[in-house]
Every structure is written in C-alpha cells, then in structure tokens.
Structure 1
Amino acid sequence: MTQIINFAHRGAAGLYPENTIISFTRALELGATGIETDVQMTKDGHLILIHDENLHRTAGVAAWVKDLTLEEIKSHEVGSWFHEDYRGEQIPTLEELLTLVKPGEAIINLELKNGVVMYPEIERKVIEMVQRYELSERVIISSFNHYSLVECKKIAPEIRTGILYMEGLYEPWDYAKRIGADALHAYKYAVIPELVAAAKEQGVVYHPFTVNEQSEMKALIQLGVAGIITDYPDRLAEILLAQGV
C-alpha cells in the first residue's frame, strides 16, 4: 500500500501555536510526513506563513498583513495567544520553512491565501522560491482560488496542485483534470467512498482536511485517501504505524 501522507495542519496546530517554526519542528518530530501551511505576502513583497489576513487573532494587533513590512510583521509575537510558554514565537517566512525541511523528505503543502486579498504575482514568487530550494518534487500548492492554481500550472507544470473546496463539487476528478490539478483537498465531510474510488480510477488523489478524531482518520484510511491533513499528526502517526501504512 502506498504510504499515506500525514500532513501537519499549520504544523501541529492542536499542540503548538499554529504556523510557527516550533509548530513545524515538533510536527516532524511527532511523525508528520508532510507540513501544511498558509502563504501570504507583506507590503514589501516578502512571503510569510500566516492563516488569517490580519494579525488580530494570533498577535492581538488590528493590522492587515498586506499593510505591514516584514520588519513590522517580525516585531509582533504570535505564541502567547496559544500559551504563555510560547511567548516570543514569530511569524515565519516561507524561506525559513524551506530551510527547515530541505534536509528531510517531508512533503510541503503551501496554501496560497489569495481569496480575500489578491496578492500580486504570489504564484510566481512562491514557485521561484520553491525552485530555488530545489523542492519542486516535494511541494503541493493548494488554494480555494482555483484561478490561482491554473496560473501555477502555467508557470510550473511539474509542481503538483490541490483543489481546496468545502462541499458538493460534482465529479471533482473531471474538474481537477480540466484545470490540471493533481489532488482534491476536500473538507472531510465531502469525502465519501464512491468519490474516492472514482477519483482514484482517474488518477486523482484525495487529501481531506481537517481531520482530528482518530475514528475519522481510520475511516478515511479505509476509503483509500492518499493523505490526511490534521492538527494532531501524533494521533495519525500512531494509527499509520499500527496499520503499517
């Protein structure tokens, strides 16, 4: 059986402050074989890893990513909202993450967060950095903005892309083929046996999100998904080890 990718969602986000270097590092130590994170762009064009378009939730600052320089972003800490033990953790750059994972074998899922803010040329900038680190074979670019995925394939056909969606996408494998996507990053409730089987016949794989209960993980493994995105990579690693997958 092909090894199922254990994607750590924003790192081990259930255990550490999301999208921080400690969260990514610990996720790999806990058995993650993939890292999922969110890419946005600062006012001065740097690629950073943060989920929300503003810093309110994680840094307590009423400011938008697009309006701040990298230096300003780095002046805020994003660990203490999760727990005081992590006060001082910063928002990392994409370059910091790629430097961290380069020596290993982990797959990196980069979600382009360009649905609310249309960051100019974010596709090209992300791809150029991935290529600079020679990680094209280990990267999957995903987005809810499917126009962006088409653009990524135009720039770098060799880099895999994943369609993010919530529910009810009709015959998603056909849609994936139409836009050149390799994977379906579906919300977990949109993944049912018939769809997984049909997609697999067409060479399209499922990487459902965000799956945190072990009973759900086991059910999805049984369905034949190729990867699972979870806040608790330790839980998934335990199941995969027990099942030999």
Structure 2
Amino acid sequence: MLAHRGLAVSAPENSLLAFQHAVELGIDHVETDVHASRDGHAIVAHDDDLSRVGGVAARVDALTAAQLSRVDLGGGHHVPTLVEALDAFPETRFNIDLKSEAAIAPTVEAIRVTGAEHRVLLTSFSEQRRREALRLLPGVATSASGPRFAAALLASVVRATPLVRRALRGLHAVQIPERAIGLRTATPSRIRAFHAAGVEVHVWTINDPADMSRLLALGVDGIVTDRADLALAVIAERS
C-alpha cells in the first residue's frame, strides 16, 4: 500500500505528521509530491500554491524554504522540505511525483544528500521531467509518464504485446487511475500485459475497501490510498 500524501485523516496532507501516522501503522511506502522553493529547495507539496492547504495566497515557488517552514498547515505543522521528510523516515520508501521542471534538480540533490537512491521511485505525468530526473540520477526507479502509459494502454487494446513492452521498457511501474483516455486500465488482460512487460501495477486513488479488495483480487501490486488504515484492514482480512 502507498499512503497518498501520508495518512491525512487527522493530520495535514504531505506533512511530517501525516507520514508519521502512516509509518506508525506499519505502512512502508508513502506517496508525495514535490515543487521547488524560490531558493531552490525541494518542497513537499501537491498544489503549486498554498491557498487550499495553508490558507495563504502564495505560490510555493514564490517563497523561500525558510518562509515555507513558517506556513502553518494546522496544529503548528509546517510545509516540509524533501530532505526533512527523507531524513525523518529513513526506512520508508517514497514515491515522489515531480510537479515542475524546477523541482527536478533539487529533488535529485535531496535524494543524494540523504542517501535515499535505493528507496525512492520518481514519477511525473511529464515524460520530459521523468527522463531528466533519470539522467541526473541513473538507475533510480521510475514509473510511466502519461504519454508512456497511454501508448502502452492503446497497445493493450489490440493485444500488441511487443508494443506494450516497448512502451514500458526501462520502467519499474505503471501508476494509474482505473480509467484513462476513456478505457478501463485494470482489467485482468491488461494487468497481465503490464506484468509481462516487467512492471508493477499501482492504482490510484482508491479509498473504498470494496474497491481495494477487488483490485487486489485482480492482481494489482499496489493501491495508492488516502486511507492506509482501511487498506491495512483489507489486507489483514484477505490474509
């Protein structure tokens, strides 16, 4: 299970407390997002501005890391840097979505200075961002960008196995919604095709226990969820 922005039931999303709540439950994979601050630090945040999570009408890239550290997300919890998050949870695996081109270099630097290369997976909807991150950090795990997955999905429609494999070559996972470009993504035949191409299948964002159980029964390898607590109960019941 991948805890989507941590476990934010009683903590601000993408905060150190949200990650802590997930880790304390026994979750060892968390999903998060990264932007760049004005002074070039990798900042853990989903949105490009702070209006929704912090009540501040300012863009993340318009503030320094020090200024961002003073934004109260609730209960005194702040907007963390990626270095803080990786340092705070040294045994946890981080699935990191690169939200902007400016975030690439500081994210790579944060991973390097914390020695986290072996426990991160970098992803982006942008193939250009994914490729640039991989160029700077050779060998790091990555999942399919939007264009790469679209090509694989369309190839799976006509059961063109070699084309599915070509579209997913060099990747470690596809991380997908249940529907994309008007097609169901997590059917038994498509899951088999993606597995045959050598990638794991992670489906997002699944919060209903019945849906979690159904997808696990189909053979998906991971569920990205806001409710890691419910997901653990589903796994316990299935086992």
TM-score class, shorter-chain normalisation, is 0.7 to 0.9
Aligned residue pairs, count: 223
Structure 1 pair 15–176 and aligned structure 2 pair: CA distance change class (3 A): farther
Give the root-mean-square deviation of aligned CA atoms: 1.9
Alignment of 1:162-181 (within 5 A): 162-165=143-146, 169-171=153-155, 173-177=165-169, 180-181=170-171
Q: Which runs of 4+ in 1 moved over 3 A?
A: 164-169, 171-174
* TM superposition score normalised by structure 2: 0.87
Q: Which of the numbers 6, 21, 29 marks the counterpart of 1:34?
A: 29
The CA distance in 1 between the partners of 2:60 and 2:228, in whole Å, is 28
Counterpart of 2:112, as a letter, is Q
What is residue 192 of structure 1 aligned with on the other side? 187
Determine helix, strand or coil for the equivalent of 2:17. helix
From 129, 148, 151, the equivalent of 1:148 is: 129
Unaligned runs of 5+ in 1: 1-5, 80-86
Would the alpha carbon gap of residues 210 and 200 (structure 1) be closer, same or farther in structure 2, given more than 3 Å must change? same
136, 141, 149: which one pairs with 2:117?
A: 136
Query: Which residue number corresponds to residue 96 of structure 1?
Result: 84
TM-score (norm 1): 0.85
Tell me the equivalent position of 1:3. Answer: none
Offset of 1:16 from its aligned partner?
A: 2.4
1:143, distance to aligned residue in structure 2 (A): 0.8
Superposition deviation, residue 227 in structure 1: 1.3
State the alpha-carbon separation in 2 of the partners of residues 157 and 215 from structure 1: 39
Give ranges in structure 2 of 5+ residues lacking alignment.
156-163, 180-184
Aligned to 2:5: 10
- Deviations 1:34-53 (CA, angstroms, capped at 9, x unpaired): 01111111101111101100
- C-alpha separation in 2, matches of 1:222 and 1:15: 30
